[in-house]
Amino acid sequence: MSSYKELLSQIELLRQQAESQRKAEIANVVADIRAKMQQYGINLSDLGFARRGSRSKGTRVAAKYRNPSTGDTWTGRGKMPRWLQSEVSAGKRREDFLIG
């Protein structure tokens, strides 16, 4: 009869073998899927995996604020830039930097 420690080492060995076998089988399946996709001209969008990008992604927004001394601009979206934060904390109003 095997001891407890021997059984634990056998379990660990079997887990390692199972993981190795799993990785090998997955690699074979992926290779088969890629070959069939290429053979039939299938792409990810045909399978419903196409990414849907944001409609606004890449859309340029006009600058709303300008730093008169450096010419730096800010659209008013996202985090307020440091130059505007320092001016506002110095007592100026945000509206003082609006572009015409």
Residues 37/43, Cβ–Cβ less than 8 Å: yes
CA distances for 90 relative to 65, 83, 84, 85, 94, angstroms: 17, 11, 10, 8, 11
Residue with tokens 């990810």: 44
Q: What is the mean pLDDT of residues 91-96?
A: 90
Specify the pLDDT at position 35.
Answer: 96
Are 15 and 41 members of one domain? yes
Local confidence band at 1 (pLDDT 50, 70, 90 cut-offs): confident
Are 69 and 98 members of one domain? yes
Are 57 and 86 members of one domain? yes
Are 68 and 39 members of one domain? no
Specify the pLDDT at position 54.
Answer: 66
pLDDT digits (tens, 9 = 90+) for 27-70: 999 999 999 999 999 998 888 887 766 666 677 889 999 988 88
Q: CB-hemisphere CA count at 13 Å for 7?
A: 4
Q: What is the mean pLDDT of residues 67-94?
A: 91
Q: Of 52, 92, 98, nearest to 75 (Cα)? A: 98
Percent of the chain with pLDDT over 70: 94
Residue 12 pLDDT > 70: yes
Specify the pLDDT at position 47.
Answer: 87
Domain that holds residue 30: 4-47
